[in-house]
Amino acid sequence: MSFIRSLFGLGPKVNYKEVVNNGAIIVDVRTKGEFKSGHIEGSLNIPLPELNKKLNKLDKSKTIITCCASGVRSGSAKSILKSSGFEAYNGGAWRILKGKI
């Protein structure tokens, strides 16, 4: 199981509710159309292909939780953010993350 978690960039278990309560930002990296069909209230929509160009719109002092439809794109987004100096977690599928916060 830990191999699968690391494969998708999930890493160790995280108390997402606590991270959000401490000021984390949720970044949904799905397409604008996917985001419009449903999302976590208060989350930002930055589609994965646009993330590198929009890093300057994010606050490096805030923890970021990424999410998408399944956890694959959000895993990629987490890697991009971490390599750019952000504290980031892959929240996985937005519907599941929504139930954890």
Q: For residue 32, how many other CB atoms are within 10 A of its CB?
A: 11
Considering the chain, what percentage of its residues have pLDDT values greater than 70?
88
The answer on pLDDT for 1 being more than 50 is no
Question: What separation in angstroms does the CA of 47 have from each of 11, 17, 18, 70, 97?
Answer: 22, 23, 25, 14, 17
The residue range of the domain holding 81 is: 2-100
Q: How much is the mean pLDDT over the chain?
A: 91
pLDDT digits (tens, 9 = 90+) for 25-70: 999 999 999 999 999 999 999 999 999 999 999 999 999 999 999 9
One-letter amino acid at 56 equals N
> From CA 2, how far away is CA 8, in angstroms rounded?
10
Q: How many domains does the chain have?
A: 1
The answer on pLDDT for 91 being more than 70 is yes
CATH code of the domain in which 54 resides: 3.40.250.10
One-letter amino acid at 87 equals E
